[in-house]
Structure 1
Amino acid sequence: MATINGDNGDNVLTGTEDEDIINGRGGNDTIDSVDRPANIFAGSINPVRDEVRAGNGDDTVTGGKLDRLVGGEGNDFLSVNFNFNGPVVGSATPITLKLDENGTGRASDGTVIYGFESVNFNLSDTGDNVVDTGNVRAQLTGGNGNDTLTTGSADDVVYGSGGNNVISTGGGNDTIGGGSGIDTVFGGDGDDTFGVNIATDGSDQVNLGDGNDTVRLDRADGGAGNVRLTFTSAEVGNGNTNDAGSLTNQDGGLAVRVQAEDADGNLTGPISRYDDEGITFVAGTQGITFDVRDLVSGTQRGNTFEGVVLGTSGDDALTFFPPFRAGQDFYYNAGQGNDTITAGTGNDFLVGGAGSDTMIGGLGNDSYVVDSLGDTVVEGVDEGTDTVLSSITYTLPDTVENLVLTGTGTIDGTGNALDNSITGNIADNRLAGQEGNDLLIDGGGNDLLIGGAGDDVMIGGAGDDMYFVGAAGDQVTEGVNEGNDTVRSAVDYALGANVENVVLLGSDGTNATGNEGDNSLVGNSGDNRLDGGAGADRLNAGDGDDVLAGGTGADVMRGGNGDDTYVVDDAGDQAIEQPGQGFDTVRSSVSYTMETNIEKLVLYGTDDLTADGNAGRNQIYGNAGDNAIYGDDGRDLLFGRDGADTFVFKAVTDSDVLVSGRDIIKDFDVAEGDRIDLSGIDANLGQAGDQGFQFVGTDSFSGQAGELRTKFGGGNTLIQGDTNGDGAADFAVLLQGHQTLDNGSFVV
């Protein structure tokens, strides 16, 4: 079980695949408990339950089935998807749920909800859902069953989807869509908007309450024909039905036929309302005017009926003119052709349809559907928070904030100088934030996320994703088992959980740090520090004088050009250099044998370790322990430092009689117990077996093989050995300083 804690700032907190406890604490937090199949399958043997405590502040929480979700103080919003069409039979069960006045209740599937001011529920497609949200502000999406959906006094949005539904919204200014079945809708008090699909068989019953209500009748989205409406009763609330192309009054007589296209199939004029003149439809050279008050009478509640604004197959101009329903939300679909849509002051939804369309949103939080390279979105400064939903590669205009890529095509999305939210689709996308503090959300696929300037939040998903980080405040978030992901960074960067790789960009001396996984860290041309952390990591430094620290685990480190330093703490660590790539150093806390092309080895710590050189000219330093130091071939400089150290020579070639190949022990100290081990050298080549040396002090060689002597000169001590009895030295080791040696100074 993981515990994830926020602080008093505005946090973005994401759960794991296991059971979590998530505490938002203070601030306006965004929390996602991470739904998973184990949450969703009703028959799961080991269901996973998360607990989310939003804390103070205005929080946004996305929960899953079976979770315990607690809102806390502030204006909190909860979103739960109760529907899951998984591979397990019965994985999506019908939901029964009633919330009290505090936004508290327990669903039939075990989900516990406490203290939320507004909710968004996506209900099960299987069976008949029964949901009552009380006075909490709600957005409900029903399933394919016969659902009973009830809301209270808030401004709610309810969509019945399939099935024959009963929807009751109570007070508030509600938006209601019955869906494709035969629905019964009770609007209650408030200014309600009803969406009725008259393209399906059967008749919906719409019961209007007090308030100024609007009914939108949708026959088709931008089809080639006309939109025809019939009102069968003057009594508001007694319903309406489709009647093949006429608009009738309460007595059943023909009032007027609305033909919203000219002879060429083009809708060229605006739809507008004037207080005294009623509603005018202008089509080509013909204009038809009628007064809504002449068509709806009886209770005199002021209710009007309004069709969805739809275009035709030609080049249409759909224009909103106030004061016609000023401030209300409109749906525009221009259909085919090169159309122009000018919306009003509400939160409008604009669909250009096929062709090169111009969509002008105006005030309000508007949404645009873009599907053509010729589509143009026009927004003014400070005209709301607007969103483009695009099925093609798209760059946001200067005054539009959000972009959502739709469909399954491999397309890209680019932001602007504002603080953008850009969401990809399920394909491979390139999401680029530009300036501003942006939110980039991967929708699936192998995506490229570029934050740009500003402190950006980039959230990956399934697939092998790549992130470009340009600011210290950028954040990258990945879930467990969501691909092999890479961060390319121009600043110091530490990998977050579930991200595998980092590549440093540019030439600055920036640093990279890994996480607990098996990471790949790649440096740039500057002086970098690469720290692998836990795991079996791969570090590639590139040019520059770099520091490579593998961390725990068996790491492979490549320094490249420059004088590099490797920090080794595992016997499986490798430091790899090529010829001519600088003077390179290994600092090791474990026994270590130098790879080819490494020049210097430094042991650190207090353990008794072994340091073994290579065939080159090495510098080898012991630590504070009792070390065994092997120079091997080449002219080596050996430092025992503290402790009783043993300098080991395995062959006469390890230290030559010539100065050019002779090893130097820089700090030999008899008092510390330092010794020279020559047991690996056969002292008498003329006899079978491995013979030991005889130390003769400062005497000259007598011509007997196996003699070992010392010679003083220049303030230093020279050790010489004769292995063939010719009276001449066959190897020599120089000790810095005047050293008084005896038999105990050697292992022979």
Structure 2
Amino acid sequence: MIIGGAASDSITTGGGSDLIVGDHGAVDYNAGAVADGVIDAVTTSVETTDGDDSVNAGNGDNVVLTGGSSIDLADPLNGDVVTTGSGDDVIIGDYGIVTYNGSGGVSYAATSDPGMGGEDRVVAGDGYNIVLLGDSDDTVQAGAGADVILGDHGSVLADGADRDITTSAVGTGGDDTIVAGGGNDILVGGAFADTISGNDGSDLILGDYGTIYRDSGNALEQAVSSNEATGGDDTIEGNAGDDVILGGAFSDTVYGGNADGSAVISPDADLIFGDSAQIDYTGGVADDAISTASATGAADILEGSEDDDIIFGGAGSDIISGSDGNDIVLGDGGTLGGSSNNDVYTVDSNTGAGDTLYGDAGQDFILGGDGSDTVYGGSDDDTILGDQGRVVRTAGDTVLRTEADDFANGAGDILYGDSGNDVIAGGAGSDTMDGGAGDDILLGSHGVSVEADGSGQANDVYANAPDVSGDTLYGDTGNDILIGDSGYVTRGGSEQVQFVESTDTDQGGNDTVDTGSGDNIVLGGFADDTITAYSGNDILIGDNGEVDYNASGTTREAIRATAIDQGGDDSITAGTGDNFVVGGFGSDVLASGDDDDVIFGDNGEALFVNGLFDLARGTDTTAATGGPDDIASGAGNDIVIAGIGGDTVNTGAGDDIILADIGVVDMSATDSDPTTVDLVYTTEPSLGGDDTVMGDDGDDIIIGGTGEDILHGDAGSDAITGDGGMVTKAGGEYAFVESTFRGIGGPDQIYGGLDNDYMIGGDGGDSFEADLREDTLIGDFGRMTIENDLVTTIVALDWGSYDPIRGSQFGLYDVEEEGEVDQVVSLSDYIVGGLHAASGSGVYQSVSSDAGGAMLSNVNSESHAGDEISVATDNIDVSHEVRPADDGSSHDDETRNHDDQVQLDKDKSQPGNNEQSPIDAPDEPQPSEPEKQVESDGQDDPSGIGQAISGFSGWMLSRLRGIKGDRLDREALAGMGGRKRRVRRWQNGTLDRNDRKSEPVSSVAGRLKYFRRR
């Protein structure tokens, strides 16, 4: 035992268990047993003569109390300096008390006389050391062993059943430096700005004040922050080992590993609280933890280690980095375990602030909490919730589910997934999310749950609490799923997507979605969304919808709009790639780039066979589920079903299919090859609007549907119907073009453009712009049969006054009363230039003079009574009044009000442009046109046959080629003029000329059942 006393002493001892008092003090022995030499207690006393002592104790279980004074670290000869060797030492840097048990072991150690101490420097050797530094800015470095070090004032129970550690003398102390060695250390900084390093071992570190409870074997039972409003800005390093760190009040900097970022000796899993907390232990292992004093704290800088860390930022605007490993990061306060087994979840809503969180490498789970947070997931597959939430884990720390559990609180967050396949949910507020590289899932709403398969691999994702704030979602690179509001994503065990759908379809916000590159899926959700896609084969649904895949997630099965009476006015821009765009409810603005796109202006579905696109159809059944849309597609073979309302459609170059209202596009109706279009037709004839369609170069199919439509085919071989229609293809080539839904439609304007077009006006007084040297027209209802790009048959459901416009290259046939075809006259055997319309109102056509004369001389009474018939060449304008019917009335059905018009293109290089008027022209072709000369034997003159046919049918021949002899059956030709016997038999029904108001009995998709050529 050594007591230095006054002044500055230098004390050195050898091996053994020594008691050293640097300045003044007292030693108490057992009462009445002085002679036995057993020490009961040692206390120091404050004296003005205390000096700067230097103590160097050897190996052994030493007790050292240095007393007062201070030390200048620049001059080691001044102040108290304590160095001990290996052993279980008790060191008090300033004033204090040490008591002993009956066996001579230390039972209690505590500082005393706060505010009277100096700056001490302690170097403790290996062993179980208890170091209480006291006042001022102290420094301690401990060796290997499980040390207990308090930077300022406090006490330690070292014996008995409860071996508690408590800080005291709040507000006194200094900026301490504590460096522990290897071992499971307990380090408490106390007041002011301390620097603490745990080094190796599983350490418990408190930056400020607290109480630690231990059992009789020194195993930890609980650690609790105390005096939470006081402390300092601490810097703490956990280093290697599974450390538990509580930063405490003020702005702390905490590293689970090393501050310089260098690798520690071995990986560790740290539990870090930036502010105050309570930790509960079982068997010396932390299993429950909760943030405390959640309203007290400051902006901390927290960084995990190389292993699987759990980090709670607490109050204040914290900066948190998970570092390597599969980390759980909460920007604000939270709980580990508690009544929910091993779960990690946020607590104390509305007490956090805007944090900056980094997941770094590893599969991280990040919950921003309250405030406007900024989150970076880092590499690997991260799960990020912008606001409050929970991470559900097994007893073995395996993540089963991540979910948002507070739907009312949160703010606008900025969330970055970075690389990896991330799941990001913004939660409450107007959030901005960027998936980064990888196949990400982004959801704007809260109430999100991310399921796992038991191995920590994330599977199903769903959101069940929509957020009305508008979010911004960026997919970046990768095949992303972006859901503006609420939705559900079903995934398999390898995260393969099986099903995606909208949920809570009647709530949401105005979202902005930017897909980036990749094959993305977007569900905009409720309200007015803006969606922009770039390169990739994207699925873009402006409102609510679903996308189905097979169980393996490798084959797409369906894309469809859902909850079609909910949504908003969306703006969708698709980039390059084969995209599917669904505008949904409302008035949408839709645009696509080049390649082959499928676009629905309103609601619809696309079906797939073996992953190949097979069918597209509009699914609106009432006018309330859609609106007038503005649609533009780029180059490529696009399919557009514009839907309800007066839509505007502009397509680029390519073979496009445009249904201005509602209909179906079937890729395998007539064969098993889904790579070519087989059947296109309209549905829902009562729905639609006044549409404007602008085709471009390519072989387009355009069906106007209901309303007064303006339809432009532009260059290419187009098939256009002004109202309801159906187009059938075989092997990618036109087979049938026909009108449907007789009696429903409006006056349309149809512009064929260049090349061979097939046009049917449908109901109403339609206007055509065409070149009848190339185009085929039916003014009202009918069907064209096409082979090798040539019309071989036209069946018009309404003749005479019903349809003043006819097409080219069709077969005329007569039917016996029992319905069997008796005679077919194939005019393709006689016609070089084709058949052209010869009756109707305002017909303009470039023709040869002889043909014009034949046409005018044979217009029959079945044309529109009282209508003006006009024929024009470049130099000739001729008009002719059609005589009325015998009873003075028109032959038009009272239910019809057609006034079809044709504007025909003129070709100034065509022969006959300077020929004489058709009125004065001879019946025979001019000698100057040898290609039109006809060898005739009088009665068998085919030119006369043409005039006869014009008389019966309202058609004229523009060009004839010479034929020796007449092979036309005169009786059959005469029969063609008998209106009462003109019957058209269909496969499933009959249209009878004796009942002009009769409708077809069945589908207009039927084919002619009986006819034979003679």
Scaled by the length of structure 2, what TM-score is found?
Answer: 0.38
User: Larger radius of gyration, structure 1 or 2?
Assistant: 2
